[in-house]
Structure 1
Amino acid sequence: MSKNTAFIHDDFLLENKYSQELYHDYASKMPIIDYHCHLPPKDIAENTQFENITQVWIYGDHYKWRALRTLGVDEKFITGNASDREKFMKWAESVPYTMRNPLYHWTHLELARYFDVYELLNPKSAETIYQETSSLLDSPGYRCRSLLEKMNVETVCTTDDPVDTLEYHQKVAKNPFSTKMAPAFRPDKALFIDSEGYNTYLDKLENASGVTIDSYTDLCDALKNRIAYFHANGCKISDHGLTCISAVPFSENGIKAIFKKKRTGAPVSEEEALKFQSSLLLFLAEQYHEKGWVQQFHLGALRNNNSRMLKKLGPDTGWDSIGDYSQAESLSKFLNTLDTKDKLAKTILYNLNPADNEIMATMVGNFNDGSAKGKVQYGSAWWFLDQKDGMTKQINALSNMGVLSCFIGMLTDSRSFLSFPRHEYFRRLLCQLFGDEIQRGELPSDMEWIGKLVQDICYNNAKEYFKF
């Protein structure tokens, strides 16, 4: 099929000459800073070569898994023991039924950008596409590092637990390539004191930090040790995935008693857990400020809803959804406590519930004090919201209640090496929004200036913000 007549064509999502000019002349050429993803550092360090498209495209992708299950596909063809070819064929059969889900657009963008495949994926084209893509993946130009370079990825930030050795980041540092890989500190397991495996996790943290953790003070020392270790290995970002921010009153002695209670094997109450999380989160945030890090908070996911399937397959396998937690008051208290001490680091806030869009868009303005451009950011549309409608609503909320030109743009939040066209998807949508308003006379046709704003949002702002 000709590229010019294909479904994914040069002006995909770009409906007028202004949006087309903004995208082709300004947005498309910008490198990618992917400051939050879940790519395995081991694959990047070892420059893994995948045997076929299923391994690089379907393994670990719970977006696809949820769609397949909804369509009645047996788990054997999703996470089960079916062959890679069989799993791909089931996905190919399912793709035509995903129209109006972002998976339909992403699927065809990814086939086009990585493999120069412009055919629609369906049962008729499946065998040819499987063979063509798998053959390419078998060539030197399609190893992990080449896949990142192909998409002009300048920096990628992985998501790493405090107990991680960062050995693969060290390997990349010793054997660098054009994409920089940096770790991001994700200490959620240290916060969730009411979890069943908490003490087991602390044992691992002891081993990683070299600090015996018998008290709350010991825990803080161990985490401070790991923050220093991450910092020495190029970390500039922390990340938290929480239902909401805990910001309840607590006393120092009370927190010490709660921790001692848990460490000796006694259960803690929900109220005690919230106090503990409030204390430890403030401690961590102050450490991030001291190191000059950026802190990220992903808020609002209701995780692991299906206990039967969680027990069978484990977490992060497609059983999460949007939660309806109260966000504004506790988030304000948390940020204000840090700001009062002048210890509020650069901060990015992400919401999963679209009902919280305007809450986040206005909250960031409360703590942008002029000390840094866009110091507190309303983060890009996340997870269930990183689709056309969700991104449009996030951009509009930020535009209406903040300053869009300070926005640090898109990320993949993905475990797939083929997910980077999501940046292109975002950029096309951004250019279409600007181009549409230029055509309607709501913005001037100053293409040079608006082109600059587009480039800032796509790349320059993130470059300045993170200082990689």
Structure 2
Amino acid sequence: MSVEGNPGRRLLDEDRLFSSDPSQRSVARRLYAEIRDLPIVSPHGHTDPRWFADNEAFENPAKLFVTPDHYVFRMLYSQGIPLESLGVARRDGGPVESDPRKVWRLLAENYGLFRGTPSRLWLDHALSEVFGVQERLSAANADAVYDQVQACLDKPEYRPRALFDRFKIEVIATTESPLDPLESHARVRDSDWDGRVITAYRPDPVVDPEYEDFTANLEQLAEMTGETTSGWKGYLAALQQRRGFFAEMGATSTDHGHPSAATADLDPAACQSLLDRALSGAITAEDAELFRAQMLTEMARMSLEDGLVMQIHPGSFRSHNQKLMAGFGRDMGADIPTRTDYVRALRPLLSRFGNEPGLDVILFTLDETSYSRELAPLAGHYPILKLGPAWWFYDSPEGMLRYRRSVTETAGFYNTVGFNDDTRAFLSIPARHDVARRIDCAYLAELVCDHRLDEDEALEVAVDLTYNLVKKAYRL
């Protein structure tokens, strides 16, 4: 059988993710037809800006689909496949598999592991819609699919900028540390290409005392800004200066990946004392949590002044697998959700800024139990708060439905911000947005058929969830 399979068959069914109920499916089809081709607005993610600056061909299928995507390699690792076998680079430069075809075969031989997962939807979508593969990936067709994808990657129309345009991406935001010089963003800006690639300010390496090389990071921050970062006033001035630079380079948002949503409102003397202990290496875990809590409040103050939208992504126990952290570093699929408090944790920040008309804070969670109990009531009251979409482990059909059902009755649709893909895997972006559009249409169709919403209202909401809300929320 050829890789293309049966010419009359599609790898992806046109009604995927819609209800099996005929009435709901009919409404969902009509709604989806109106929004499926709207531009993609990707306001938060982790794609590499060098792709768009250099516009070089993606090297091979393995480096495109496997080695950069922790959703993919964490599943394979969970079944005993070493990351070295998948070509994932070691911190010490030790040997890893260098034959991309062997890496690809490992994915194909184990493709059944992804049954029922969102990764399967994303992979099938990319293979089918981007590369024309119409046969399910397997050990039997691994080499044929590899060759078909590679043949495409060798063509100019599969380079990053061409795919950006093909995917109808209106704007994409990457995420960088304040220590990043944003050289790739400058090259994109100064090129003759009109694609909009912006950055987002992620200060974790210089606001988290438990981040590796924190003291050295503050020394580098001082060198970049000319501020004395060992003093509280100079430290804040340095962070503010870098925020200004990021805004000049197109940033409209900040992003904060703290272990919790804790906030604090301390006096300057207490802040200086915390900073002194952090720089001396004598800070305790409790002090580090208080330092991060204070910094969320400081970042909110700065956002009120400079207009950058503030995103808070709390509740992940980062690098839970210590062996992987030592061998491969961060972002190796070993981050695990934790219980997260918002009502008490955010009160210091909200007491100070919660009613300010010029501040926008977008809250995310990996603790689904907090949706209806805490997040929806908070966003349904405080003017500064909006709810980010189902995130990370819950960026999935079931996760998206649970999100809508948990928050809509209390927060409504208009205290949410549409969808963002938050991905490193470039080819999964149109797939993820398509899943979100389909799930929103399926949910809205249910409301229409239950006579809780008229179809003309559902269509207006579908357009807003797909396009309007995200542009408004991220000031794009």
Measured against aligned partners, the alpha-carbon deviations of 1:392-439 in whole angstroms (never above 9, x if no partner) come to 111112212111145321111111111111000110111111223333
CA distance in 2, matches of 1:330, 1:3: 56
Shift of 1:59: 2.0
Q: Give the SS at the match of 1:330.
A: coil
Per-residue CA shift, 1:332-366, capped at 9, x if unaligned? Answer: 332232236x3762111000111122221221122
The match for 1:146 is: 162
CA contact (8 A) 1:347 1:377 kept: yes
SS of 1:106 mapped into structure 2: helix
Tell me: CA distance 1:404–1:2, structure 2 relative to 1, closer, same or farther (3 Å): farther
CA 124–440 in structure 1, closer or farther in 2 if over 3 Å, else same: farther
Instruction: Name the SS of the counterpart of 2:56 in structure 1.
Output: coil
Task: Tell me whether 1:427 sits opposite 2:437 in the alignment.
Answer: yes
Q: CA deviation at 1:294?
A: 0.8
Asked if 1:409 is matched to 2:418, the reply is yes
2:309 aligns with 294
Q: For residues 393 and 10 of structure 1, do their structure 2 counterparts lie closer, same or farther at Cα, with a shift above 3 Å needed?
A: same
TM-aligned CA distance change 1:325 to 1:453, over 3 Å: closer
Partner Cα separation in structure 1 for residue 293 and residue 324 of structure 2 = 31
Q: Could you say which residue in structure 2 is the equivalent of 1:158?
A: 174
User: How far, CA to CA, are the matches of 2:464 and 2:192 in structure 1?
Assistant: 27
Residues 162 and 356 from structure 1, CA distance in 2 versus in 1: closer, same or farther, beyond 3 angstroms?
A: same
Q: TM-score, normalised by structure 2?
A: 0.91
Match for 1:234: what amino acid? G
| Number of equivalenced pairs | 457
1:282 and 2:259 aligned: no
> What CA distance in whole angstroms lies between the structure 1 residues aligned with 2:196 and 2:265?
41
Q: Using the alignment, how far apart are the partners of 1:225 and 1:440 within structure 2?
A: 52
2:66 pairs with 1:51? no
Distance in 1 separating the partners of 2:339 and 2:80: 28
The equivalent of 1:371 in structure 2 is: none
Contact 1:335 1:344 in 2 (8 A): no
Which AA in structure 2 matches 1:437? L
2:205 alignment partner, one of 178, 181, 189: 189
Amino acid of the structure 2 residue aligned with 1:284:
M
1:243 equivalenced with 2:252 (yes/no) = no
Query: Of 314, 319, 328, which residue of structure 2 is paired with 1:304?
Result: 319
Contact preservation (8 Å) 1:40, 1:415: yes
Residue 29 of structure 2 corresponds to residue 20 of structure 1: yes
Task: Kindly provide the amino acid, as one letter, of the partner of residue 441 in structure 2.
Answer: C
What amino acid maps onto 2:369 in structure 1? Answer: A
Calculate the TM-score normalised by the size of structure 1: 0.93
Residue type of the partner of 2:125?
A: L
1:467 shift after superposition: 3.2
Identity %: 25
Find the aligned partners of 2:323 and 2:458 in 1 and give their Cα distance: 51
Instruction: Decide whether the 8 Å contact of 2:380 with 2:412 is kept in 1.
Output: no
Contact kept in structure 2, 1:410 and 1:458, CA below 8 Å: yes
Distance 2:312 2:17 in 1: 30
The answer for the alignment partner of 1:255 in structure 2 is: 271
Q: Which of 362, 379, 383 is equivalent to 2:377? A: 362
In the alignment, the residues of structure 1 paired with residue 433 and residue 41 of structure 2 have an alpha-carbon distance, to the nearest angstrom, of 9
Residue 92 (structure 2) aligns with: none
The AA in structure 1 aligned to 2:128 is A
Q: Following the alignment from structure 1 to structure 2, what is the Cα–Cα distance between the partners of residues 14 and 161?
A: 40
Question: Is the Cα contact below 8 Å between 2:171 and 2:195 reproduced in 1?
Answer: yes
- Do structure 1's residue 454 and structure 2's residue 455 form an aligned pair? no
Query: 2-side partners of 1:442 and 1:392: how far apart?
Result: 17
- Could you say what the CA RMSD is over the residues aligned between the two structures, in angstroms? 1.9
Query: Are 1:315 and 2:325 an aligned pair?
Result: no
Pick closer, same or farther for the CA change 1:256–1:343 going to 2, 3 Å.
farther
On the 8 A contact 1:286/1:344 being kept in 2, the answer is: no
Q: 1:28-70 deviations in whole A, cap 9, x for unaligned?
A: 0210110110011111111121121111111221111111112
Q: How does 1:32-51 map to 2 (within 5 A)?
A: 32-51=40-59
